[in-house]
């Protein structure tokens, strides 16, 4: 892993070997991994795209929005949850090495390998006897495992390790990218998180004041955020970049609901399709589902990250559920 100064603390595991331990189950069709903590928190990851499709609190409350018509059979990217975008965000530029790839790249459209579970060896032990408080699931995607067509469109040797850590205080998702070849390559990465909210009309987003952003709804024009608390009253598709504050928060009725903390990522996409865009997406259902979700997507997408041969990069997020 890459050692970086001043990175936010990971979810701190505590536990006792004699106490109840987290459980990890592989589905009978080998399509998904489910992890549960002794205190009831759970996460479910589809191996297709390494897509997190469920994350629940200890009381069973779901934190992620998943379309009722999301395709989960590995035939297309999942609508909802946390899809992974790599190595390009949005439609690929015509003058870039990713130009032949589909929108949002190939990571969300390929099956990943489950590498196993683990926990921190340096974590302090719990004196309460409550058992381990975290479980980390690792998933891998490598250039050698890509279909030949994808290899031709982006012929670089790479290795991705995506770590999903479930804790009592939240969910952490981290991506490690390594250039396994000799030729340098450039990439973008994003975690397309669909957060579930009770009512979008009573939801506000904070932590983006004074941040520059590109507004894709307004012909990709440049703006600066002037609102401390952003309300969503129509289609929103903004790429906030060069962010100085690490945390973007989602509030419901003025009360904190989620904190999204970026780690080595400077950009955040804020997205809600609203009425017309939702109606045009066949896998978005119910059609008024936009009233109960908001995408706060951390990433490095406003520019390109370059890796020379043998180099690696790591970045991700910690989402805290504040119910």
**Cis amide linkage into residue 87, ω under 30° from 0:** yes
Would you say 4 is a known binding-site residue? no
Cβ atoms of 313 and 300 closer than 8 Å:
no
What are the structure tokens assigned to 72, written together? 């989960």
First to last CA, the chain: 32
What are the structure tokens assigned to 177, written together? 């990218």
Distance from C-alpha of 288 to C-alpha of 49, rounded to nearest angstrom: 26
Please list the alpha-helical segments (H only) found in the chain: 148-153, 274-279
Active-site residue (options: 44, 192, 241, 314): 192
Cβ atoms of 64 and 53 closer than 8 Å:
yes
Those residues with Cβ within 8 angstroms of residue 255's Cβ, 6 or more apart along the chain or in another chain = none
The C-alpha angle 303, 306, 312, rounded to 5 degrees, equals 125
Would you say 36 is a known binding-site residue? no
Distance from C-alpha of 173 to C-alpha of 74, rounded to nearest angstrom: 21
| 62 included as an active-site residue | no
Strand (E) positions, 131-193? 134-142, 158-167, 170-179, 185-191
| 292 included as an active-site residue | no
Three-class secondary structure of residue 144 per DSSP: helix
Would you say 108 is a known binding-site residue? yes
Active-site residue (options: 41, 44, 297, 314): 297
- 29, 67, 270, 24: which is closest to 165 by C-alpha? 24
Cβ atoms of 127 and 151 closer than 8 Å:
no
Active-site positions?
A: 192, 297
Binding site as annotated, residues: 79, 103, 108
Binding site as annotated, residues for substrate: 79, 103, 108
């Amino acid at each position: 892993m890459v050692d970086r100064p001043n990175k936010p603390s990971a979810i701190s595991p505590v536990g006792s070997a004699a106490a109840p331990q987290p459980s990890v189950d592989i589905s009978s069709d080998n399509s998904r991994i489910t992890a549960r903590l002794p205190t009831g928190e759970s996460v479910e990851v589809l191996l297709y795209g390494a897509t997190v499709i469920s994350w629940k609190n200890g009381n069973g409350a779901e934190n992620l929005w998943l379309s009722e018509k999301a395709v989960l059979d590995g035939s297309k990217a999942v609508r909802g949850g946390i899809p992974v975008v790599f190595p390009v965000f949005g439609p690929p530029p015509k003058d870039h090495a990713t130009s032949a790839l589909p929108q949002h790249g190939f990571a969300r459209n390929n099956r990943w390998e489950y590498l196993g579970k683990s926990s921190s060896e340096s974590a302090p032990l719990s004196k309460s006897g409550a058992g381990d408080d975290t479980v980390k699931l690792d998933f891998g995607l490598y250039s050698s495992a890509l279909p030949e067509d994808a290899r031709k469109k982006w012929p670089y040797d790479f290795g991705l390790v995506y770590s999903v850590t479930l804790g009592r205080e939240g969910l952490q998702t981290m991506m490690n990218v390594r250039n396994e070849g000799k030729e340098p390559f450039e990439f973008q990465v994003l975690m397309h998180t669909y957060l579930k909210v009770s009512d979008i009309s009573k939801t506000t987003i904070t932590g983006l004041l004074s941040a520059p952003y590109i507004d894709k709804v307004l012909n990709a024009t440049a703006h600066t955020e002037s609102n401390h608390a952003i309300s969503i009253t129509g289609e929103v598709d903004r790429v906030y970049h060069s962010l100085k504050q690490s945390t973007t928060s989602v509030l419901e009725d003025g009360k904190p609901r989620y904190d999204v903390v970026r780690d080595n990522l400077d950009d955040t996409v804020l997205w809600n399709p609203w009425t017309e865009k939702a109606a045009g997406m066949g896998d978005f259902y119910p059609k008024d589902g936009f009233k109960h979700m908001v995408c706060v997507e951390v990433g490095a997408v406003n520019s390109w990250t370059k890796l020379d041969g043998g180099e690696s990069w790591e970045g991700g997020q910690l989402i805290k559920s504040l119910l």
